[in-house]
Structure 1
Amino acid sequence: MGLKEGIRFITLKSVGSYINILSYVRPQKALALSYALFSQPRIGRLQKDKLPKILQNTETETFHHNEHHFQTYVWKGNDTKILLVHGWESNASRWKKTLPYLQKSGSTIIAIDAPAHGQSSGKEFNVPLYAEFINKAVEKYQPTMIIGHSIGGAACVYHQYLFPNTSINKMVILGAPSDLKILIDNYVSMLSLNTKMFSLLESRFADRFNFKLEDFSGKKFASGFNIPGLVAHDTADNIVAIEEGKKIASNWRNSQFIETKGIGHGMHDDELYQKVIEFLFSE
């Protein structure tokens, strides 16, 4: 553990201790704080006048959805459309290395900014809201293919579960978590939160989204899928364990699983991209 990681570890543990103490005296405040830490990204925002180069020469569109708005970026090509869905503390520019491969196919590429990321609105990120954003973009652009990375992949899986009959007929999921419960467990252990905090968080999710933690599972969602899928995950992924990707693929009838070695959570790899292209463009 380097100095930076050491400091982060100490701050996380001390934030955790503070929340634990608070849970006895002011449980609602402790809950608000721990939920905010879990759901509010600290990086990944973009400013309109300082966009990364990759996003500068795109056609952009701002969608409005209830009190939210979200941003899309389009690289024009032919009538085949591919929608790209990024992960946590990231934004549409994360696809910079992926784009050249997809553009070789001549396709039109559309990338979306998640809630509270990029140029989209809000402070809080959550998968159900992301799935609604994805659905608005799918309705508008009618993509036939969708690629999701990390929690963006989880949002694609949830979207497909909620809206099985859209234009999408192929899906690629990279380094994605399956079970929300695992994410919460990891978060709780990272902060060393007490069991009281765990059950408070659990009921917060149940109240907020109207589902039990263990029901929010990519493995469960994928069991009803009919479209073909490619699920890829790296053995050295230290953000989301490879078991999570395997879970999603295990229940998905028409899917293939690719295990990569040593490319980590980012999943940027020439060989992998070749396989993604083959999957998307083979009959």
Structure 2
Amino acid sequence: MARRLLTASSVRTGLNIASWIAPALAGHGAYVTFCKTWKRANLRVTEQEVHASAIRDVVVVRGKRVVTYRWGDGVKPVLLLHGWRSRASRFASFVPQLLAHGYSPLSFDAPGHGHSGGEATTVAEYGRVIDEVQRRFGTFEAIVAHSYGVQCALLAVHNGVRTRRLVAISGVADLGFLVDEFHRRLGVNERVVRRLHRRVQQEVFSAGQGGGQRSPGARAEAAVPMLVIHDGSDTTVGMDHANRLIADYAGPARLLVTDRLGHQRILIAREVVQAVVEFVDETPRPASLALAPEADD
């Protein structure tokens, strides 16, 4: 613990000093630090059986080896996207239920996470992995994303990844929130934070999103139905993020609020898994039926 605190203190001091004598260097250093995962999440005992049953493959994106996981026969693929410093195995509770309903769950450990290569990743790189996974395994019936993965899913869909439905669980509504969290935890000065905000925004611009640091859903052309699930007691990503995701989204969206599940336990709650599977299973009513007048008695 002391070593970690000393490292954080050294990084903070170095970035703060550099912000006055070499601002561009400070911005670059902050961005590199911001993108590093530093610590990988461990595989939990409760996830081991499902994790071990997966078919593993490897895709390479910009030189990084990304481990993918597949269950089922490949028909009707549903992509599961983990959050920051997390891993694909966190969706173990979803796999049996999706299989039982005829879907083929698939997931991957993002660069710098789980069993994949690299020490860092970005929302743009995460999106490139999603695109490569779709190229290899086909159009998704649904994308189910958690936390940071929600922004990655929205950006990917905005940039052309095809899916019939979207599920955002405990989703981050904008990338600026992540920069502010970096600021709060590391304690760098405002000059560093302003540089980092600009660098993150440039990354999103270069990835094809012209809406700044707000949710890519605000400009998504592929306005597929979206289910937003958020816990009212989530202290990691507050309930306001769910409301903003709904408000910003260009397509039809609905909100499911859970109670006392927090930011992580929401992924293993039976009612959440059931709600997601039911949403993915829904068949949209044809427009002709939706608009037809009711018959007189």
Structure 2 CA distance for partners of 1:222 and 1:254, relative to 1, 3 Å: farther
Q: Indicate conservation of the 8 Å contact 2:97/2:277, yes or no.
A: yes
- Give the superposed CA RMSD: 2.9
What do the CA deviations read for 1:229-280 (whole angstroms, capped 9, x no partner)?
1111112212212211221112333111111121111222111221111111
Query: Which one of the candidate residues 113, 138, 152 is aligned to 1:117?
Result: 113
Give the counterpart of 1:177 among 165, 172, 176: 172
Q: Structure 2 length as normaliser, TM-score?
A: 0.81
Q: CA deviation at 1:99?
A: 1.9
Q: Indicate the SS of the match to 1:101.
A: helix
Aligned residue for 1:144, secondary structure, equals: strand
Paired amino acid for 1:262: R
Q: Partners in 1 of 2:244 and 2:112 — Cα distance? A: 28
Other-structure match for 1:189: 184
Shift of 1:8: 7.6
1:237 — aligned with what? Answer: 234
CA contact (8 A) 2:16 2:26 kept: yes
Asked if 1:158 corresponds to 2:162, the answer is: no
Q: State how 1:1-283 maps to structure 2 within 5 Å.
A: 15-25=11-21, 27=23, 30-44=26-40, 52-77=48-73, 79-142=75-138, 143-163=140-160, 166=162, 168-210=163-205, 215-218=212-215, 220-221=217-218, 224-252=221-249, 253-266=251-264, 267-268=266-267, 269-283=269-283
SS in 2 for 1:63: strand
Instruction: Supply the distance in 2 between the matched residues of 1:225 and 1:113 (Cα, whole angstroms).
Output: 25
Q: Is the 8 A contact 2:168 2:227 kept in 1?
A: yes
Amino acid at match of 1:272: V
Deviates more, 1:230-239 or 1:214-223: 214-223
Does the aligned pair in 2 maintain the 1:17–1:192 contact within 8 Å?
no
Per-residue deviation, residues 111-153 of structure 1 (Å, max 9, x unmatched): 1111211222222211111011001111221221111111111
- Mark the runs of 5 or more structure 2 residues left unpaired by the alignment: 284-297
Give 2:295's aligned residue: none
8 Å CA contact 1:235, 1:262 repeated in 2: yes
TM-score, with normalisation over the residues of structure 1? 0.84
Moved over 6 A (4+): 6-11
Residue 43 of structure 1 aligns to a residue whose secondary structure is coil
Question: Contact (CA 8 Å) 1:44, 1:117: kept in 2 or not?
Answer: yes
> Would the aligned equivalents of 2:205 and 2:212 in 1 still touch at CA under 8 Å?
no
AA aligned to 1:95 is F
In structure 1, list runs of 5 or more residues that go unmatched. Answer: none
**Cα distance 1:149–1:220, how it changes in 2: closer, same or farther (>3 A)?**
closer
Distance in 1 (CA, whole Å) between partners of 2:20 and 2:74 is 59
Q: Does the 8 A contact of 2:154 with 2:216 survive in 1?
A: no
Q: Which moved more, 1:71-80 or 1:27-36?
A: 27-36
- 2:263 partner SS: coil
Which is greater in Rg? 2
State how far apart, in whole Å, the 2-side matches of 1:14 and 1:237 are: 31
Contact 2:141 2:280 (8 Å CA) reproduced: no
CA contact (8 A) 1:231 1:245 kept: yes
Q: CA contact under 8 A between 2:127 and 2:153: conserved in structure 1?
A: yes
